[in-house]
């Protein structure tokens, strides 16, 4: 990956191949800048929600730029050469941000708040809560494009946004560790147990949301 070269065309926001040096540094700058911008937006939205509604929908936020080695593996796995052009075009999760919240209702509330930001363009949405993966995985994924304002140009950069509850995140983290250990070929009985745990997580999320709704209704009655 270190041998890949790229330059930013000063007249457009396109990325093209050249013989310039510091290619990864240029790309790393763009994606890290995109993460900083969207993280700040989310923090502001959370603070505003706390001020207006006296409630924090977000428990915590994790952000990362994918390691070069992981990007190369993903390109090869999908049959693409390891070039900067292919990286930018075909790898949508180079910059990734994960938003962890308490309840499933918060997930859709946060997704709507992000979508309503005028300078954020939603490219794709995958709702793995309404349509879980075969493994039982549940989460809400968005690929968005956010403008990065440099000194002499604006570059639109893709960021993957994952929104999930604390319970979903716990399950996903454990499932990832298990699949990594078995290189994606975990024994059938372990996959079955993981699926059952995912079903239990979904039930827990539903019951906790119902309980929270009941508590809010009681508070509203007491306030009248």
Catalytic residues: 160
The CA distance from 136 to 202, in Å, is 9
Residue in this structure with the two tokens 């390691």, named with its chain if needed: 67
The CA distance from 27 to 182, in Å, is 32
**Of 61, 60, 62, 40, the residue nearest 149 (C-alpha):** 40
H, E, C per residue of 98-166? EEEECCHHHHHHHHHHHHCCCCCEEEEEEECCCCCCCCCCCCEEEEEEEEEECCCCEEEEEEEEEEEEH
């Amino acid at each position: 990956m270190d041998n890949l070269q790229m330059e930013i065309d000063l007249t457009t926001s396109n990325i093209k191949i050249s013989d310039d040096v510091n290619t990864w540094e240029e790309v790393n700058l763009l994606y890290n800048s995109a993460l900083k911008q969207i993280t700040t937006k989310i923090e502001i939205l959370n603070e505003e929600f706390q001020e207006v509604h006296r409630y924090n929908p977000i428990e915590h936020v994790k952000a990362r730029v994918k390691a070069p080695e992981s990007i190369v593996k993903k390109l090869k796995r999908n049959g693409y050469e390891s070039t900067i052009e292919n990286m930018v075009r075909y790898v949508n999760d180079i910059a990734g941000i994960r938003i962890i919240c308490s309840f499933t209702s918060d997930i859709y509330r946060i997704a709507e708040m992000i979508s309503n930001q005028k300078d954020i363009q939603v490219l794709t949405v995958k709702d793995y809560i309404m349509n879980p993966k075969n493994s039982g995985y549940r989460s809400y994924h968005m690929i968005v494009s956010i403008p990065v304002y440099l000194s002499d140009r604006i570059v639109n950069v893709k960021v993957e946004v994952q929104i999930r509850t604390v319970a979903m995140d716990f399950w996903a983290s454990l499932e990832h560790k298990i699949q990594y250990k078995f290189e994606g070929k975990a024994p059938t009985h372990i996959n079955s147990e993981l699926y059952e745990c995912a079903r239990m997580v979904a039930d827990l999320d539903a019951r906790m949301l119902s309980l929270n709704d009941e508590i809010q209704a009681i508070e509203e009655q007491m306030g009248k």
